[in-house]
Chains A and B, each alone.
Chain A
Amino acid sequence: MLKMHNIRKSYRTDTIETHALRDFSLEVAEGEFVSVTGPSGSGKTTFLNIAGLLETSTGGQYLLDGEDVSGLNDRDRSRLRNEKIGFIFQGFNLIPDLNLFDNIDVPLRYRGFNAKERRKRIEKVLEQVGLAARAKHLPAQLSGGQQQRVAIARALAGEPRFLLADEPTGNLDSLMARQVMELLEFINEWGTTIVMVTHDPDLARRAHRNIQIVDGQVSDMRNANSVAEAATA
């Protein structure tokens, strides 16, 4: 599903060049649930941004679903992002002045679905996350956990094959976090590949595989049963 080979990413100012990723190589198979851990500033978010086609790498090769995306233009990258990738963020990133229905509608608009198809998909995913009755509510009228479920619904509406989650439970209490995690596991069981960045060792352990990033490189890959001690808070 995802294959990165010797990916490099550096940020340059007038005086300093910072290497966020250095010769970063990783493969994620279709249907996998991978957790990514590492200390702050290690490059987790940069990896996620490149994987999600929000940023381009400075060098190296990135194959998404078998397609080399390194040289694609913005329009093609946006199309791929829309069709194949779903995002879940720590801060939910719902658009505050759009109700739940319209928030979930956003990626479907860019996909070019007609109104009937959009409505069908939105109602379906709202049903799946248990918020069908609140379609007309604004995000501010929901709890944090509910907002994250809406964000998941929005990510799922386009039926992406690849879900990127950046600290999806970081802003939630433990009960809400558990519910969201169960939802992600459920989604993964349907066949969606998930890569989740987290600081929480318990959540990391629930993935199939854990990758630890240190100083912009993959320092450790192990299966989830032995991950708890590797994740850093």
Chain B
Amino acid sequence: MFGYYISLALRSIRGTPILSALMIAAIAVGVGAAMTTLTLNHMMSQNPLDRKDSVLYAVQLDGWDPNEAYDSNNQMPWQLTYKDAQALLRSDIPTHQIAMHRTGFTVEKDNSDLRPFTADTRATTRDFFTLFDVPFIYGGTWNADADKSPVQQVVLSKETNDKLFDGENSVGKSISLNGEPFTVVGVIDHWNPVPKVYDLNNGPFNDSEELYIPFGLHRRFEMYSWGNTNGWKNDDSEGYEGFLQSENIWIQYWVQLDTAEQVEQYRDFLTGYIRQQKEQGRFERPLKFGLSHPSEWLVLNEALRDDNRVLGWLSLAFLLVCVVNAVALLLAKFLRKAPEAGVRRALGASRNAVFTQHLIESACIGITGGLFGILLAILGLQSVKHLAMGYIDQLAYMDWQMVLAAIGLAILASLLAGAYPAWRISRTNPSIYLKTQ
């Protein structure tokens, strides 16, 4: 009977093209608007490190102004000072640990027509690639020595390698960064976690960096953060060394702790470190540190902001309005067909059969509306991309999960819209229509 109901539905839709088009449009607009917003919210609230969520931790230390807590959700600074990061790096408890920040270099290639360009760069310790499971196409990361001493080696992103070396294996080749020669030791595959969970407070939806260089190059290149640097204390020390030893926070710190024992040991280590610093006159606030899994880090940093959530609810409310409109239109359409339903009842159709027939017609309208809704959502996302001028390119696309969600939402919307009219027509007394038709 399912095939029969489908053929009846298509015949009915063809028989009332304008009314059907209005219903399809109502559902399409509702689904389109809802999916545009929900897609953005979905992409914003993803955890790209979900696979390692249980063992990765973002580290926070509360060495902030004793008179005023840091303005964050857990009242601790998002980033660490350089000297604290260097101190934590001396721990051998974590399986992997990284200190890092965003910076930038001017890239040149000798004997090339390529014009120099500025590249987003991440200065990081070598565990970055292992800790975040960054895949390599060629080569690998630099030696451990490079994290402490100035070794001019670089890992390229796939896109940068394509740009500089046409995608060929560039390991061992040289490029110039800020006029200094760097040897390529590795090329990573396309890797762009969204949101950029490892550095949420410097643009959570920015692309990942184009270059990765060792953390030991700070003094050699006097690197500053190309992101947020915050401070609370006026230091007397001058120059770059003064900056490195200051209370300015600009380093992101992550650790991988695979076992509960490691976590416990690391907590003890952080507690001990803070106590030691307190004895030296630092960390005047109550002893406090943070170890947050990536999923917790996303929530703390409000990667998905409250206004996006509100927008999500508003878009669902709009869909509800569209569904209510579709209910009214379906009711008008089905009640106009009540005499036919009466005839079918007389000829042996049960109430359930009449209900199912009309519900399937609603679902057909809903699926068609949903497909148009997906197109509208794609157009909507393109518009958002255009308005955001590239800022959220990584967010404004529908993955298969969201396409399936859109179809599901459309079917759900149409079933919600169709259920009442279908129920009404299945409950009407056929004899009324049989006598008067």
Using CB atoms and an 8 Å cutoff, list the residues of chain A in contact with chain B.
45, 49, 52, 54-55, 74-75, 78-79, 81-83, 87, 89-91, 93-95, 97, 106-107, 109-111, 154, 158, 166
Q: Is B286 an interface residue (CB 8 A)?
A: no
Instruction: Give which listed residue, B11, B340, B347, B431, contacts A55 with CB less than 8 A.
Output: B431
Q: Is B437 an interface residue (CB 8 A)?
A: yes
Contacts of A49 in B (CB 8 A): 431
A54-B434, A74-B350, A75-B350 are contacts. A106–B429 as well, Cβ < 8 Å? Answer: no
Q: Is B344 an interface residue (CB 8 A)?
A: yes
In the complex, the number of residue pairs spanning A and B with C-beta atoms less than 8 Å apart equals: 71
Contacts of B349 in A (CB 8 A): 78, 82, 110
Min C-beta distance of A81 to chain B, whole Å: 5
On whether the beta carbons of A81 and B348 are closer than 8 Å, the reply is: yes
24 contacts between A and B (CB under 8 A): A45-B431, A45-B435, A54-B346, A54-B430, A55-B431, A74-B350, A74-B352, A75-B350, A78-B348, A78-B349, A78-B351, A78-B353, A82-B349, A83-B348, A91-B434, A91-B435, A91-B436, A91-B437, A106-B343, A107-B347, A109-B4, A110-B349, A166-B434, A166-B435
Contacts of B431 in A (CB 8 A): 45, 49, 54-55
On whether the beta carbons of A93 and B348 are closer than 8 Å, the reply is: no
On whether the beta carbons of B348 and A79 are closer than 8 Å, the reply is: yes
Using CB atoms and an 8 Å cutoff, list the residues of chain B in contact with chain A.
1, 4, 11, 15, 339-340, 342-353, 429-431, 434-437
- In the complex, what residue of chain A is closest to B349 when comparing beta carbons? A110
A91 to B343 CA separation, bound complex (whole angstroms): 11
- In the complex, what residue of chain A is closest to B350 when comparing beta carbons? A78
A123 to B339 CA separation, bound complex (whole angstroms): 26
Interface hub of B339, B351, B434 (most chain A Cβ within 10 A): B434
Contacts of A110 in B (CB 8 A): 344, 347-349, 353
Contacts of B350 in A (CB 8 A): 74-75, 78-79
Q: A82-B349, A154-B347 are in contact. List 19 more A-B contacts (CB 8 A).
A: A45-B431, A45-B435, A54-B345, A74-B350, A74-B352, A78-B353, A79-B350, A82-B348, A87-B346, A91-B434, A93-B342, A93-B346, A97-B11, A106-B343, A107-B348, A109-B1, A109-B4, A110-B344, A110-B348
